[in-house]
Amino acid sequence: MNLSTGSYRTKILGLVMAASFIALIIFAFWVSPNDDQQGGAVRLLYIHVPLAISTYVCYIACGIASLVFLIKKKIWWDYIALSTAEIGTIFCGLTLLTGAIWGRPIWNTWWEWGDVRLVTTLILFLLFLGYLALRAMPSSNPNANVRRAAVVAIVATIDIPIINRSVEWWQNRTLHQRSTLVELKIEDWTFFTLVLGFLAFGLLIIWLTIHRFRVAWLAGEIDSLETELALKKRLEESNI
Amino acid sequence: MKQIWQVCLKDLKVELRSRIVIFQVLPFAVLTIILFAFAFEADRAALRDYAPGLFWVTVLLATFLFVLRSFSIEVEAGAIQSLRLSAVKPQYIFFGKALALFIGMFILEVILGVATFFLYDVSVESPSLLIVSAILTTAAIASAATLYGILSANLKARETILPLLMLPVLIPVFLGAIRAFDDALGAVAVNGWAWLSVLGVFAFIYAVFGSFAFGEILEEVE
C-alpha cells in the first residue's frame, strides 16, 4: 500500500500555492499602500478576509459532503466532510484571532458583541468544535458515529443563515464594513492583493483537503486491514 | 397521529412514575434562578431588566438535564431497541418524543415563570406575546433537543458532548426568546412579535429535518 499522502500533481499544486503565498507577502507588505483610515492595519485584512471566506467555504463543503454521504452512503464523502470541517475550524480560529488583533487598533477593542459577523463566526466555531469532538469520540460502532457526525454537520450548515440573521436582529447593528469589495471602493493594489489572498487560500484549502482526505482514507484502510488480520488469526487458532 | 400520541404518553408516564423532573430538574431550575439573584447581589432593578435572559438560560440548562434523563432511560433499559423494532415509523417516534418533551418543558416553564415573577418582581405587559413566544420557543427547543438526545443517546460521554452539540445550535432560539420576553415584560423597547418568525422558522426546520434525520440515527443506536 502506498502510504504517501501526496502525488506528483499535489507537489505541483503545493509549489504553486507556496509561490502564491510568497507573492501575497510581497504585495501585502511592500507593494500595497497604507489605508487612509486604517493605516498599516489594513495589511492584516489580506489574510483575515480570505481566511473568513475560506472558513465558510469549508463549512458549506462539509455540510454538502455530509448530506451526500447520508444519501449515497459512500465513505469517501465522509472523508471530505471530516477534512473540510477540520480545515474550516482551524481557519475559523485564525479568523477570530486575526479579527481580534485587527479590531484592537481599529475599533479600540479586542471583541465587539454588537458585530454580527464576529458573533456568528464564534458560534460557528463552537458548532464545529462540537462536530470534531463527536468525531474524536471512541465508538464501538464507527459507522454510527459517522452518521451522527453527518447529521450534526448538516444542522450546523443549515444554521449558518439563521444564526447570522438572529444575531443581526439581536443587536441591529454591525461594525464590519459593508461590501467595499463588491462596490470596488478600494485602491487598485489593495484590491489586487486581496484577490491574491483569495487565490492563495483557495489553493491552500484544496491542497490541505487532498492531503487530509488521503490521511483519512489510509486510516480507514489500516482499520480494515487490522480487522482482516484479526479474523485471519482467529480462523487459524480455531483450525489448530 | 395516534402513534405519535402513544409514544408521547409512554414518555410522560415514565416521567410521572420516576418523578425525576418534578423532584430533581424543577428544584434545580428554581435553585438556578435563586443563584442568579445572589450573583446580581439581589439588585431588583437589574434582576427585572435581565429576567428574560436569566429565565431562558435556566430553561436551557433544565432542558439539557431533561433530555439527558429522557434518552438515558431509553438506552439503559434497552427500550429503544423495542421501539425501533415496533411498527411505529421513526418520524412518529420523533414527533411523539418531541411532544412529550414539549409538554414536560412547558409545565416546567410555567412553574419557573411563576417563581421568576415573584422572586424577580417582574410585571407582564403583553401576556399574549409571552404565551405565544413561550410556545414557539419550547417547540423549537423540543425539536432540536429530541434530535440531539437520540444523537448522543448511547455515547459514553453523552453528559459532556450533549451540551457542546446542543447549546450552540439553540443560540438563535435563545436570542429570539429573550427579545420576545423583553417586549412582553416591558424590559427593553423592541418589537417582540417580529422575533416570533425566527422562532417559528427554527421550530419548523428542526421539526422537519429532525423527523427525517431521527430515522437515520435510530437505526444505529444500540
DSSP per residue, A177-237: ---TTTTT-S-HHHHHHHHHHHHHHHHHHHHHHHHHHHHHHHHHHHHHHHHHHHHHHHHHH
- pLDDT of A180 reads 54
pLDDT for position B82: 78
**Is ipTM beyond 0.95?**
no
Higher per-residue pLDDT: B44 or A176: B44
Strand, coil or helix: what is A35? strand
The answer to whether the Cβ–Cβ distance between A162 and B201 falls below 8 Å is yes
Average pLDDT for residues B21-43, to the nearest whole number?
89
pLDDT at A198 over 90: yes
Which of 31-90 (B) contact A at CB < 8 A? none
pLDDT the model gives residue A187: 65
Predicted pLDDT of residue B124:
87
Question: What is the pLDDT of chain B when averaged over all its residues?
Answer: 87
Of A142-156, B11-25, B41-55, the one with minimum mean pLDDT is B11-25
Residue ranges per structural domain of chain B: 2-218
Interface of A with B in 80-139 (CB under 8 A): 123, 126-127, 129-131, 133-134, 137-139
Give me the pLDDT at residue B23, please.
83
Q: Which residue of B has its CA nearest to A119?
A: B171
CB-nearest to B172 from A134, A138, A163 is A163
pLDDT at residue number B68 = 86
Q: What value does the mean pLDDT take over residues B153-160?
A: 82
Sign of CA dihedral B44, B46, B49, B51: negative
Q: Quick one: pLDDT at residue B221?
A: 66
Cβ neighbours of residue A112 closer than 8 Å, sequence gap 6 or more = A103, A118, A175
pLDDT of A176: 60
pLDDT tens digits, one per residue of B168-213: 989 888 888 998 888 888 877 777 787 888 888 888 988 998 888 8
pLDDT at B55 over 90: yes
Compute, in degrees rounded to 10, the torsion defined by CA atoms A42, A48, A52, A57.
Answer: 110
Q: Hey, how many other C-beta atoms are within 10 angstroms of the C-beta on B186?
A: 14
Phi-psi map region of B19: left, alpha, beta (phi>0 left; psi -120 to 50 alpha): left
Q: Does A159 touch chain B (CB under 8 A)?
A: yes
Percent of chain A with pLDDT over 70: 92
Taking CB atoms and an 8 Å limit, are A162 and B205 in contact across chains? yes
The number of beta carbons lying within 10 Å of the beta carbon of residue A59 is 26
**Better-scored residue on pLDDT, A138 or A76:** A76
Amino acid residing at A101:
I
* Interface with chain A: mutation pick from B169, B173, B181, B188, highest number of A CBs within 10 Å: B169
Answer whether B179 sits within 8 Å of A163, measured CB to CB: no
- Residue A179: predicted pLDDT: 54
> What is the pLDDT at residue A172?
62
pLDDT at residue number B75: 77
Does A173 score more than 60 pLDDT? no
State yes or no: pLDDT of B41 exceeds 80: yes
Range B129-145 average pLDDT: 93
B70-85 average pLDDT score = 77
- At A103, is the pLDDT very low, low, confident or very high (cuts 50, 70, 90)? confident
- Greatest mean pLDDT among A107-116, A161-170, B48-57 lies in B48-57
- pLDDT of A185: 58
Q: Is the pLDDT at B7 greater than 80, yes or no?
A: yes
CB contact B220 to A (< 8 Å): yes
**Mean pLDDT within A114-124:** 83
Mean pLDDT of A206-229: 90
Residue A169 has pLDDT above 60, yes or no: yes
Residues facing A35 on adjacent strands: A39
Averaged pLDDT score across all residues of chain A: 86
User: Of A108-122, A168-182, B77-91, where does mean pLDDT reach its minimum?
Assistant: A168-182
Q: Is B101 exposed, middle or buried (0-12, 13-18, 19+ CB in 10 A)?
A: buried
Q: Residue A39: pLDDT above 90?
A: no
| Least confidently predicted of A149-153, A169-173, B125-129, B152-156 | A169-173
